[in-house]
A and B are shown apart, each in its own frame.
Chain A
Amino acid sequence: MNHFEYLQPTDLAEASRLLGDGPDEAMIFAGGTDMLSLLKDDVVAPRKLINIKGIPGLDDIRYTPGNGLVLGPLVTIRAIKENPTIREHYPVLAEAADVLASPQLRNLGTLGGNLCQRPRCWYFRGDFDCLRKGGATCYALEGRNKYHCIIGGHPCVIVHPSDMAVALLALDAKVTIYTPEETRQIPLNEFFVRPAEDYEREHVLKPGEIMSRIEVPAPPSGMLSGYRKFMERAVWDFAVVSVAAVFTRSGDRITGGRVSFGGVAPVPWQDEAFNRKLSGLRLTKRSVTDACKTLLSGAEPLSENAFKLPLARNLTGSLLLELAGVPL
């Protein structure tokens, strides 16, 4: 771990000023569950760490019927998992929090940190001068790539590790970004950066910018939602593939909704063609299974991860049917 200065601003303006010219100068420190590992492994080496936990008002959970949910970036994963309002109105969020890490890490880890965490790729985390760390090669392309992406990769084939992002994407969440000049709001799917645009970053935050709020629209009446995460062991692992589904139904048909994926792409992923087809889809085993056969049809699996495509399709089908109460 390099030497750094540990600073504790008490408002966003000061924090933003301290962040200076970018990650070589200063990085934000919140729950620390990912940052400590990145520092210990010398993946990052900022001169200053800006602890934002002393800034008031960033750990609020507010729900207003009709308006929806507002979450501060410092809300812990445990708080999301246990919040009765979230469990009632947004099961997909509580379920994603429930299968994330371990109890003690959920106590420390924050929503903002979960959305901004760095990839788990073993070449990125390990002692490799990989593309994402300024090198010339994505070692996973020709190397060990069982857990890497099957769609949207190249020139770097990481997967985005966040569970919360997948659930929030299915809920059509928006992110508010504080800058000294103005505060702006963007849809969550515009928050993440694909490697084809810039393979050295996972999100759009520029130097001095801080995520200040996450907003989730009010749930339409009768909304069904859920999160399913496939892990190689029962608990405490990152998703091999995960899927979040949010939809409404009338009789035996879906009237609208959205499905999103973790573990398949460098960003939390949506198959827009599939989401358009959801509206009107009959909730029978046959029609859901048929529709899922076309999911992620542009996928180009790597040498060791072709299994992810049928896994994503089957997880989606079973989640939709399970939420609808159709026997599998």
Chain B
Amino acid sequence: MEGTFRINGRHELLEFSERATLLQVLRDNGHQEVKEGCAEGQCGSCLVLLDGRLVNSCQVFAAAAVNREITTVQGLGTIHAPHAIQEALVEVGAVQCGFCTPGMVMAAYYLLRHHPDPSEKEIRRALDGNLCRCTGYTKIIEGIRLAARRMRQA
């Protein structure tokens, strides 16, 4: 199969099998910032925005994402121009091995877009579907609180 995807604002014409998940197509085409963890919807490391909705890209067929808008963590910010969430996570030391970080950033972004001033409980609940195998949750939550504060003031 073949289809156009709008990935981080750029149109990309890609070939893929009908069995391919969006995660596989993204990773096979240079978007390795999207991580493959469990590949069954449990760990959150492959989170992207699909038409603005947070989804596990491993649980979406690529065929269902054709002609739609996909935002990966690189679409939020890059190493030279980081997003406030990325900056805050680095600053508080919320990145250990870093594998869960792209998913955490996407979940945090989705939360803060809908709830700019979340309580700690709301932050925790927004991360229900994100696993950090380093168990560094405390710093991640601290980083999201810091980012939320800065984004409200910006």
Contacts and interface: CB of A to CB of B under 8 A. Distances in A.
A36 B40 contact: yes
Say whether chain A's binding surface is mostly helix, strand, loop, or mixed: mixed
Which of under 10, 10 to 19, 20 to 34, or 35 or more describes the interface residues of B?
20 to 34
A32 B40 contact: no
Contacts of B60: 32, 36, 108
B145 to A, nearest CB: 18
A3 B17 CA distance: 9
B8 interface: no
Interface string B124-143: 01101110000000000000
A4 B42 CA distance: 24
Of listed B44, B110, B129, residue having the most chain A CB within 10 A:
B129
A186 B115 CA distance: 40
B128 A32 contact: no
A239 to B, nearest CB: 15
B72 interface: no
Given A51-B64, A108-B56, A103 B107 contact: yes
A32 B64 contact: yes
Contacts of A32: 59-61, 64
A104 B58 CA distance: 11
Interface residues of A, number: 23
19 contacts: A1-B19, A5-B18, A6-B18, A32-B60, A32-B61, A32-B64, A36-B59, A36-B61, A37-B40, A37-B59, A39-B19, A51-B64, A102-B128, A103-B107, A103-B110, A104-B129, A108-B55, A108-B56, A236-B42
Ranked 9 nearest A-B pairs via Cβ:
A102-B129, A235-B128, A102-B128, A6-B18, A107-B53, A104-B54, A236-B128, A6-B63, A36-B59
Interface of B: 1, 18-19, 21, 39-42, 44, 47, 53-56, 58-61, 63-64, 107, 110-111, 125-126, 128-130
Interface of A: 1, 3-6, 29, 32-33, 36-37, 39-40, 51, 53, 101-105, 107-108, 235-236
